[in-house]
Amino acid sequence: MILALINPVEPASFFLIKLKFNINDFEALRVDTAPSIGTNWSQILDNTNGYVLLYGSAPSGVKTASYSDIVGLPVVYFKPKRAGTNLYISYEPTSMILRSLDYADIFNMVYTAGGAGFNVKDPTAAASPTPTPTSSPVPVSSPTPSPILVSTASKRVFVTSKSYNGDRYSWDYRGPDAVCSTSALAAGLGEMWSAWVSSTGNGGSPLERFWKSSGDYKLINGTVIAHGWNDLTDGSLLHSIDLDEFGHSQSGVNVWSATTIEGKLKSSPYILNCKNWYSGSSQDNGWVGGTVTFSPGDWTDGGTVSCDQPEHFYCFEQ
């Protein structure tokens, strides 16, 4: 039984697909991709928590016209654990597909399911949807941005163990967010993470899109870096964010940011965020912070580097 992720209309150059399934209904077996999808491709199959995360680029764009023509696009293989007609796999609303022509998010894609009794559920639909025959694709509506909310729970924070140039294939913050999600899942930390970066446009900064906790922000080992959001954004930290997702030290590294100490897009004297995280050129620049110091504000606002340089990301639990 397979789930083919296809866009039958327009070529796309970047994919960030999050799928959720009931572990009592399915086991995720593998993901197949053709070489044309590009070399920058990551996948995580989490059969403990019921997630599949697919994150990849296709620089020249890929397209498929029918279920039988899955060229260069990911195909997820699932094994059903029980018989029935109401077995569902749902997408997470933070998924996206960027069109090759203008990098617009065209996540009104089509999921096509193969195999009897296998359907796709739109989580924004009614609680008891009518199963759709497998011969008919199910259109999925574009995601709605989440409102800014406040939390009282403590939140974990890490700096990525790997470094990346400024081109995260997303034209906004969602490419860096995907880096944080894949890093956290690989370390068994769950998948609800966001990168401390900013892009232009509404909702592009941590101040706009992060959950703001009144609880402590902590490193993976429990060390407190701030007592709540207000403390986090007052200019200095109680401890540098210098542990990665595995709890290993990353002291003295640069971290992509383009973000002020208040969590806003850094726009003075210039907006430098590697062209909204879509440039890896030495001719472009991005604002960085660093883990070598944690006051006053250097952790997020410490200088600039060219976008071809490999740097890290700060990741915050949401």
What CA–CA distances, in Å, run from 72 to 4, 80, 101, 254?
11, 25, 18, 34
CATH numeric code, 2-139:
2.60.40
Query: Could you tell me which of 2, 1, 5, 12 has the C-alpha nearest to residue 137?
Result: 5
Cα–Cα distance, 313 to 96 (Å, whole number)? 20
- pTM to 2 decimals? 0.60
- pLDDT tens readout for residues 70-116: 344 566 777 778 776 666 777 766 676 666 656 566 554 443 333 22
pLDDT-based confidence at 139, cuts 50/70/90? very low
Domain boundaries, the chain: 2-139, 150-317
Question: What mean pLDDT is reported for the chain?
Answer: 74
Query: For residues 257 and 314, is the Cβ–Cβ distance under 8 A?
Result: yes
Q: pLDDT band for 309, please (50, 70, 90 cuts).
A: very high
Phi and psi torsions of 58, nearest 5°: -135, 90
pLDDT tens sequence across 212-270: 999 999 999 999 999 999 999 998 899 999 999 999 999 999 999 999 999 999 998 88
pLDDT for position 129: 36
- Which tokens in the block code for residue 53? 């995360």
Instruction: Say which CATH class 150-317 falls into.
Output: alpha beta
Q: How far is CA 227 from CA 102, 137, 284, in A?
A: 41, 48, 36
Q: Collapse the DSSP code of 155 into the 3-class scheme (helix H, G, I; strand E, B; otherwise coil) and give the result.
A: strand
pLDDT at 107: 53
Distance CA 43, CA 18 (A): 10
Q: What is the pLDDT of residue 67?
A: 35
Query: According to the per-residue pLDDT averaged within each range, which of 11-25, 129-143, 238-252 is highest?
Result: 238-252
